[in-house]
Amino acid sequence: MKRRALLLWAATPALAQAEVEVNTATRAELESLPGLGPALVQRLLSARPFRDWADLMRRVPGVKAAAARKLSGAGLRVAGRPFSAVGGEAG
């Protein structure tokens, strides 16, 4: 029993990071992610939908590769995919 509890505890951080789809998320869901404040959330909401990360970075001022990497690490997804620095495409 202790082993099962330990495994569940070890998996908890991975489960705690929820994925948030930029194309369908509510304002509150987007603002819940670290690094997404009200101004950036408004720019995302106004510009969506996005085909991929490269599309998002082209059309949303203030989101370049470094910011995309951080937002992806926090759980943001574009078309269901995380950011990959190779050409700004999802990996």
Predicted local distance difference test score (pLDDT) of residue 30: 97
pLDDT tens-place values along the chain, 91 residues long: 555 544 444 444 444 568 999 999 999 999 999 999 999 999 999 999 999 999 999 999 999 999 999 999 999 999 999 999 655 444 4
> Terminal CA-to-CA distance of the chain, rounded, Å?
37
**Residue the block writes with tokens 């990959």:** 84
What gap in Å lies between CA 53 and CA 76, rounded to an integer?
10
Q: Residue 73 is inside which H or E element, if any?
A: helix 65-73
Domains of the chain: 18-91 (1.10.150.320)
Q: Which two tokens stand for residue 20?
A: 């948030």
